[in-house]
Amino acid sequence: MINILFVCLGNICRSPIAEGVFRDLVEREGLSKKIKCDSAGTASYHIGSLPDRRMRQIAWENDIELNHKSRKLAGDDFYNFDYIVAMDEANFQDIRNQSYRSSGFYFPEDKLFLFREFDPELIKPDDTAQLSVPDPYYEDIAVFDEVYRIVVRCGAQFLEYLVEKNQLKK
Ligand code: 4NP
């Protein structure tokens, strides 16, 4: 079993939609017995809350239900997950720092990703400013829709990467 953790700041917008979209994709590809996923936040503001109403709305319009309750990234996560996928650069650095503080080692570099490293539509792949999924929380509904479209694209590429790397299909 491969365990994947998607991480953002509040765990009510970006990482829950990444989790929901990715789980749906894994199910449709018949890989549910081989890949599991979850999500968490680096901040504790929204612990116990359902995803943001606007994010659930966009998910629902695309036949995805989001039931996740926000939780904070914890020390055990660095043992329980094989891959951790950050939504933006700040999340990425926070994950690295927290892994070092809680376990005395950095989470392996080849298992910690920025989700947009898998975005096939990045115009300039070497522009790190573009490697973040935009934080929609204080933005218009259009940004929530953009987040949805980004996680669909990145999820598909990330799954391809996992299948190849772990020889999941013949
Ligand atoms: P998320 O979005 O990290 O994608 O869940 C946010 C949610 C809440 C806040 C910021 C970002 N906040 O400041 O409360």
pLDDT tens per residue, the chain (170 residues)?
A: 999 999 999 999 999 999 999 999 999 999 999 999 999 999 999 999 999 999 999 999 999 999 999 999 999 999 999 999 999 999 999 999 999 999 899 999 999 999 999 999 886 656 666 799 999 999 999 999 999 999 999 999 999 999 999 999 75
Pocket lined around ligand 1, Cβ cut-off 6 Å: 8-14, 45, 135, 137
Residue 114 counted as domain residue: yes
Query: CA of 107: how far to CAs of 4, 41, 62, in Å?
Result: 13, 16, 33
pLDDT of residue 130: 75
Question: 11: Cβ–Cβ under 8 A, 6 or more apart, which residues?
Answer: 39, 40, 41, 43, 46, 68, 70, 71, 72
Residue 170 counted as domain residue: no
pLDDT of residue 17: 98
123-155 residues labelled b (16+ CB within 10 A) or e (exposed): eeeeeeeebbbbbbbeeeeebbbbbbebbbbbb
pLDDT of residue 141: 97
For residue 97, the SS3 value is: helix
**Domain of 159?**
2-165
> What is the distance in A from the centroid of ligand 1 to the CA of 67?
17
Q: Tell which one of 14, 69, 87, 137 to mutate to probe ligand 1, the residue whose CB is within 8 A of the most ligand atoms.
A: 137
Question: Could you give the maximum distance between any two Cα atoms of the chain, in Å?
Answer: 44
Q: What's 60's domain CATH number?
A: 3.40.50.2300
pLDDT of residue 123: 64
Residue 57 counted as domain residue: yes
Residue 66 counted as domain residue: yes
Is residue 14 among the annotated active site residues?
yes
Pair 157, 165: CB distance under 8 Å: no
Q: Tell which one of 7, 13, 138 to mutate to probe ligand 1, the residue whose CB is within 8 A of the most ligand atoms.
A: 13
Catalytic residue among 13, 14, 38, 88: 14
Is residue 135 among the annotated active site residues?
yes
Residue 36 counted as domain residue: yes
Q: What domain count does the chain have? A: 1
> What is the distance in A from the centroid of ligand 1 to the CA of 82?
24
pLDDT of residue 128: 62
Is residue 37 among the annotated active site residues?
no
Residue 74 counted as domain residue: yes
pTM beyond 0.95: the answer is yes
Residue 126 counted as domain residue: yes
Residue 147 counted as domain residue: yes
